[in-house]
Structure 1
Amino acid sequence: MLLKSCFDRLVSFFGLIIFFPVLFIVAILIRVKMSGGPVIFKQNRVGKNGRLFTMYKFRSMTVGHGGSSVSVAGDSRITPLGAVLRKYKLDELPELWNVLKGDMSLVGPRPDVPGYVDCLIGEEREVLKLKPGITGPASLKYRNEEVLLAKVENPQKYNDEVIFPDKIRINLYYYHNYSFWKDIQMIVCTVLGRKMRYNNEII
């Protein structure tokens, strides 16, 4: 895991430098198009070993919104600009800072809000031994999660009973079968929007 850690820090450092113009432009657009709120959305997420950390993303929703932690495509809380940022994953670029700080990894399980990890039992809790990631096998499989949830009658129930358990299954496989080269492949597939074969399925 030392190679993974060094790779994370190196790539996140140069990533922040390379993507600085994009970060700057997105920040200006949010300030202009979504005035009245912060540019950066901060939220407590559960990290490695269950430790809470502050995750940073570009704000994509209206200020002071309520409702479920599960969002779907067409959600009224998501602004038009926010929808574009989410579609191209630009809202997640500030998470490179989390990677540089050591709170997150480039590849790993997506960090959940407090509450979901409380449902993990037995072997499932091994997922908490991993640093959460910007992308990962479960993220690739459910890259269109918001669209999928918009098609079901009860998005929250479908997420809790179908998607969340499947993500745990995929992330457990990732934990027990870690490969640095698979990490590289996942990063490339995330950037290029491509699919890959992983654990005998296409993600």
Structure 2
Amino acid sequence: MIRLFDVLFASLGLVFGFPVLLLIYVLGLFDTGSPLFRQERVGRHQKPFILVKFRTMTVDTASVASHLASSASITRLGAFLRKSKLDELPQLWNVLKGEMSLVGPRPGLFNQQELTAARASCGVFEVRPGITGLAQVSNIDMSTPQLLAETDQRMIRELTLVHYFKYILMTVLGKGAGDRVRSSL
């Protein structure tokens, strides 16, 4: 049932959100010259997939978890996109392709071994990763791997259609700060 809602909402989001996607893409061309950001992430059953987002950091930023990146790397447009969570919109394509769900554990990077191990021990890789979930609306990010894995496990165990819609609504309304970025000194 959740997959059906994923496909429906991702399709509607891409169709009706196309003007916004196009506008952000064009603004991104002026901002960084490369508006889309692609990064290999750990997917369901620990299989790799390419996550697509709008770029929020300079092109030369190292490919690390957000909490390890410097805030000096975030562009002005990127700061707005992160705050409004509009940088996540291209992931609707990942949802349509079946690589992600709207609600699930945020996919980590392969170089985050501690997070990957914690999630593996909690059975988190049995489900599709998501754009948002319990950890995101609770301000738990990848800087606390064990807590994140346990929160993801709890979300998976307790996920109902009511929770699915609740997490989406909370995200749209701005609950949760998203992944933290280290302040530059």
Q: For the superposition of Structure 1 and Structure 2, which TM-score range results when normalised by the shorter chain?
A: 0.7 to 0.9
Deviation at residue 73 of structure 1 after TM alignment: 9.1
Q: 131, 135, 139: which is aligned to 2:136?
A: 139
The TM-score, its normalising length taken from structure 1, stands at 0.79
Amino acid at match of 1:120: A
Residue aligning to 1:102: 98
Q: 1:121 to 1:61 in 2, by over 3 A?
A: closer
Pairs aligned (count) = 174
Residue aligning to 1:60: 56
Please, which runs of 5 or more residues in structure 2 have no aligned partner? 177-185
The TM-score, its normalising length taken from structure 2, stands at 0.86
Deviation at residue 72 of structure 1 after TM alignment: 7.0
Alpha-carbon distance between aligned partners in 2 of 1:68 and 1:19, rounded to the nearest angstrom: 29
SS in 2 for 1:30: helix
Deviation at residue 164 of structure 1 after TM alignment: 1.9
Alpha-carbon distance between aligned partners in 2 of 1:69 and 1:140, rounded to the nearest angstrom: 18
Residue aligning to 2:164: 183
Q: 1:23 to 1:8 in 2, by over 3 A?
A: same
Residue aligning to 2:44: 48
Q: 1:111 to 1:122 in 2, by over 3 A?
A: closer
Residue aligning to 1:201: none
| Cα distance per residue 1:78-112 (max 9 Å; x no partner) | 11111111111111100000000100000000000
SS in 2 for 1:66: coil
Residue aligning to 1:166: 147
Q: 92, 96, 107: which is aligned to 2:88?
A: 92
Deviation at residue 120 of structure 1 after TM alignment: 2.6
Deviation at residue 76 of structure 1 after TM alignment: 1.0
Structure 1 window deviating more from structure 2 (178-187 vs 111-120): it is 111-120
Please, which runs of 5 or more residues in structure 1 have no aligned partner? 146-155, 196-203
